């Protein structure tokens, strides 16, 4: 039997902090058909540390040098949020597929510039170049929940309860950053699960902001979809006890929730216990791996990547802007502006 042609996608990673180092490691160790060839970080030592762990990988001296490199076929952007839009547009102009971590950009206007840049570059019938790292779309729990909704296993969906808790908010985190950088995951996953866009958002916090910089934490948002389903969203960055993501779907004839899947079950001191991961890397390891594998498979086969698109990223940011407007306007419902 003739052997199939072997294609390897050579990936460059911009920003090798927590997420970038994790994606580089996942690509290197667990994803078929990809190799990490070039890495770059504003702190060169961080890039060097990642490159040393991956045979054949080298460090680029700048973002542009990585994007334009002959040994880079596709780009991953894991630098801080404000850099996403500019770097994504640079990759598009270089004609290279790009997987940008969420959020795509800081505002709908900035997202629109990315969308227009992509529209202008990609011809009719060609695949999109931009994918956005909303990895929950690949988490086995969320995908099973979506399949159940689509099959109407328990009738029509009525409610979603989404909670997202972290150990502590990073220094300098503001209420707006919590919405645009963290709650934005829910603004993508809720309409994706329901197949129903978010129509309006209201915002609450249980007590006056207690942090010195005025961070409201936790924040609770109520999302209403165009079809009338309601979603409660709790974003609690400083919950203290661990990284803990939950989602419960309540439908006409039953309820379905993400199962907690601890790696071990402890028994000691008269107690049975499990532990929480400290951040997203362990909790969503399967999702990141499946997301990157799907991206690489699509690039190899020439099919559209099944990840969130630039327009999906813009839609999530439109919901985030409505949530910020609700927060700044006293909490009452704010209609999500339609985006092009
Ligand atoms: N999808 C998810 O679940 C998820 C989880 C965490 C973080 N993220 C996103 O990933 C991105 C990185 O987050 P992180 O937690 O790894 O942050 P981090 O601070 O650990 O890493 C960011 C890295 O980027 C470098 N950097 C800064 N500006 C740069 C530039 N212009 N070019 C190249 N490198 C630059 C920094 O030196 C740092 O090493 C953020 O956009 C964040 O929102 C996504």
Ligand 1: atom nearest CA of 84 is 41
Kindly give the confidence (pLDDT) of every residue in the chain, 340 residues in length, as a single tens digit, with 9 standing for 90 and above. 444 455 899 999 999 999 999 999 999 999 999 999 999 999 999 999 999 999 999 999 999 999 999 999 999 999 999 999 999 999 999 999 999 999 999 999 999 999 999 999 987 667 899 999 999 999 999 999 999 999 999 999 999 999 999 999 988 899 999 999 999 999 999 999 999 999 999 999 997 666 666 899 999 999 999 999 999 999 999 999 999 999 999 999 999 999 987 888 999 999 999 988 888 999 999 999 999 999 999 999 999 999 999 999 999 999 999 999 999 999 999 999 988 7
Distance of CA 308 from the midpoint of ligand 1 (Å): 19
Give the span between the Cα atoms of 243 and 278, in whole angstroms. 5
Residue 147 alpha carbon to ligand 1 centre in Å: 32
Smallest CA-to-CA distance from 131 within 319, 20, 292 is with 292
Rg (CA), the chain: 20
Q: Write the DSSP symbol of residue 81.
A: G
Structure tokens at 319: 């919901």
CA of 18 to the centre of ligand 1 (A): 7
DSSP annotation of 135 reads G
Q: 152 CA to middle of ligand 1, Å?
A: 38
What is the distance in A from the centroid of ligand 1 to the CA of 91? 17
Q: Which atom of ligand 1 is nearest to the CA of 134?
A: 1
**Beta carbons within 8 Å of 303's beta carbon, 6+ residues apart:** 127
In the numeric block, the tokens 């969203």 are attached to 233
Looking at residue 331, what is its pLDDT?
Answer: 94
Could you identify the atom of ligand 1 that is nearest to the CA of residue 284? Answer: 3
Q: What is the pLDDT of residue 6?
A: 59
Residues with C-beta less than 6 Å from any ligand 1 atom: 14-20, 40-43, 46, 63, 78-81, 83, 101-102, 133, 135, 181, 280, 284
Residue 16 token pair: 């090798």
Best residue for ligand 1 mutational test, from 15, 26, 64, 289 (most atoms within 8 Å of Cβ): 15
Q: 41 CA distance to ligand 1 centroid (A)?
A: 9
Give the span between the Cα atoms of 288 and 27, in whole angstroms: 9
C-alpha to C-alpha distance for 250 and 256, rounded to whole angstroms: 7
What pLDDT score does 340 carry?
Answer: 72
In angstroms, rounded to a whole number, what is the distance separating the alpha carbons of residues 199 and 281? 31
The closest alpha carbon to 322, from 302, 338, 298, 340, belongs to 338
Distance from C-alpha of 262 to C-alpha of 85, rounded to nearest angstrom: 36
- Closest Cα to atom 6 of ligand 1: 19
The three-class DSSP label of residue 302 is coil
| Predicted local confidence at residue 1, as pLDDT | 40
Q: Give the ligand 1 atom nearest the CA of 83.
A: 31
Q: How far is the CA of 254 from the centre of ligand 1 (A)?
A: 39
215: number of Cβ within 10 Å? 20
């Amino acid at each position: 039997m003739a052997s199939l042609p072997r294609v390897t996608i050579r990936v460059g990673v911009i920003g090798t902090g927590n997420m970038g180092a994790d994606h580089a490691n996942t690509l290197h160790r667990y994803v078929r058909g990809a190799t990490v060839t070039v890495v770059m970080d504003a702190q060169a030592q961080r890039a060097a540390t990642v490159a040393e762990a991956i045979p054949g990988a080298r460090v680029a001296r700048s973002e542009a040098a990585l994007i334009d490199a002959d040994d880079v076929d596709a780009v991953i952007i894991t630098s801080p949020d404000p850099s996403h839009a500019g770097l994504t547009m640079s990759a598009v102009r270089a004609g290279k597929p790009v997987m940008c971590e969420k959020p795509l950009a800081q505002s709908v206007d900035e997202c629109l510039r990315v969308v227009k840049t992509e529209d202008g570059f990609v011809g009719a019938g060609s695949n999109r170049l931009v994918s956005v790292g909303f990895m929950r779309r690949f988490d086995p729990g969320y995908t099973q929940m979506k399949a159940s909704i689509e099959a109407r296993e328990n009738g029509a969906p009525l409610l979603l309860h989404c909670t997202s808790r972290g150990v502590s908010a990073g220094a300098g985190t503001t209420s707006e950053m919590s919405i645009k950088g963290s709650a934005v995951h829910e603004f993508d996953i809720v309409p994706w699960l329901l197949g129903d866009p978010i129509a309006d958002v209201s915002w609450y916090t249980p007590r006056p902001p207690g942090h010195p910089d005025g961070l409201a934490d936790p924040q609770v948002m109520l999302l209403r979809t165009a079809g009338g389903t309601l979603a409660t969203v709790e974003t609690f960055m400083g919950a203290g006890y661990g990284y803990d993501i939950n989602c419960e779907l309540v439908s006409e004839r039953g309820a379905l929730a993400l199962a907690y899947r601890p790696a071990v079950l402890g028994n000691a001191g008269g107690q049975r216990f499990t532990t929480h991961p400290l951040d997203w890397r362990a909790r969503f390891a399967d999702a990141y791996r499946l997301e990157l594998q799907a991206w690489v498979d699509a690039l190899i086969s020439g099919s559209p990547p099944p990840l969130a698109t630039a327009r999906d990223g813009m839609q999530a940011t439109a919901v985030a802007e409505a949530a910020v407007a609700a927060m700044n306007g006293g909490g009452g419902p704010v209609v999500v502006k339609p985006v092009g």
